[in-house]
Chains A and B, each alone.
Chain A
Amino acid sequence: MEPHEHPPLPPAVPPVTRRDFLFKLGLGLNVIAAGFVGIPIVGYIASALFKPKAQQAWIALGEIAQFPPGETRLASYRNPFTTPWDGATADIPCWVRRKPDGDFQVFAINCAHLGCPVRWFPQSGLFMCPCHGGVYYEDGSRASGPPPRGLFEYAFRVRRDRLEVRGGQTPNLSEPV
Chain B
Amino acid sequence: MNRLRAIGKWFDDRLALGRLYDQSLGHRIPFSSSSWWYVFGSATLLCLIIQLVTGVCLALVYVPSPDQAYASLEYLDYEQPLGWYLRGLHFWGSNFMVALVTIHLVQIFLFGAYKYPRELTWMVGSALFLATIGMAFTGQTMRFDQDAYWGVEIIVSILGRLPLVGEAATHLLQGGPIVGAETLSRFFTLHVFVIPATLIGLLVIHIRLVLVLGISEYPEPGKVVDPDTYADEYEQVVERTGIRLMPEGGGKDLVFSALVLMAIVLCAALIGPKIPNGPADPSLIHTVPRPDFYFLSLFAAFALMPPDLESFVIVYVMPLAVVLLFAVPFISRGGERHPSRRPGAVILVILVLTGLFTLAWEGVVSPWSPEMDAWSGVPVQPRFVEDRSPLEHMGATVLQAKQCRNCHALDGAGGKRGPDLAGVATRLTEDQLIRQVLQGGGNMPAYGNHLSPHEVSALVAFLTTLHAEGQAPARDSASWARSARESPGSR
Instruction: Show the binding face of A for B, using Cβ within 8 Å.
Output: 2-4, 45-46, 48-49, 51, 56, 74, 76, 79, 81-83, 85-93, 109-110, 113-119, 121, 123-126, 128-133, 135, 137-138, 143-148, 168-170, 172-175
Contacts and interface: CB of A to CB of B under 8 A. Distances in A.
A9 to B, nearest CB: 22
A138 B489 CA distance: 53
A48 B282 contact: no
Given A114-B154, A132-B303, A135-B445, A89 B176 contact: no
A115 B156 contact: yes
B279 interface: yes
Interface string B286-323: 11110000000001001100011011000000000000
Nearest to B150: A116
Contacts of B178: 79, 81, 92, 168-170
A99 to B, nearest CB: 13
Nearest to B13: A3
B285 A170 contact: no
Given A115-B153, A116-B289, A169-B178, A174 B166 contact: yes
Interface of B: 13-14, 16, 65-68, 149-150, 153-154, 156-163, 166-168, 170-172, 174-184, 279-283, 285-289, 299, 302-303, 307-308, 310-311, 368-370, 372, 375, 401-404, 406-407, 417, 440, 443-447, 449-450
Nearest to B447: A124
B403 A130 contact: no
Contacts of A124: 402-404, 445, 447, 450
Contact of A133 (B303, B401, B446): B303
A133 B368 CA distance: 6
B172 A175 contact: no
B168 A146 contact: no
Nearest to B300: A132
B369 A114 contact: no
Main SS class of interface, A? loop
Nearest to A121: B403
**Ordered nearest first, which 4 A-B pairs have the shortest CB separation?**
A172-B160, A87-B67, A174-B166, A143-B445
B444 to A, nearest CB: 6
B302 A132 contact: yes
Given A132-B369, A172-B157, A175-B170, 12 more contacts: A4-B16, A46-B172, A48-B182, A49-B172, A89-B149, A89-B180, A115-B153, A123-B401, A124-B404, A124-B447, A174-B162, A175-B177
A169 B167 CA distance: 11
B450 A125 contact: yes
22 contacts: A49-B171, A87-B65, A89-B281, A92-B283, A116-B153, A116-B289, A117-B289, A123-B402, A126-B450, A130-B369, A131-B154, A133-B407, A144-B444, A146-B307, A146-B310, A148-B311, A170-B170, A173-B160, A173-B166, A173-B311, A174-B162, A175-B177
Contacts of B150: 115-117, 131
B282 A88 contact: yes
A43 to B, nearest CB: 13
Contacts of B404: 124
Nearest to A87: B67
Contacts of B287: 117, 130
A157 B159 CA distance: 30
Instruction: Report which residue of A114, A126, A128, A137 has the largest number of chain B beta carbons within 10 angstroms of its beta carbon.
Output: A114
Nearest to A136: B445
A76 B283 contact: yes
A91 B181 CA distance: 12
Contacts of A79: 178, 180
Contacts of B175: 48
A85 B65 contact: yes
Contacts of A132: 302-303, 368-369
A26 to B, nearest CB: 26
B178 to A, nearest CB: 5
Contacts of A46: 172
A114 B158 contact: yes
A140 to B, nearest CB: 13
A86 B144 CA distance: 12
A61 to B, nearest CB: 13
A148 B307 contact: yes
A135 B447 CA distance: 12
A130 B162 CA distance: 24
Nearest to B368: A133
Contacts of B68: 85, 87
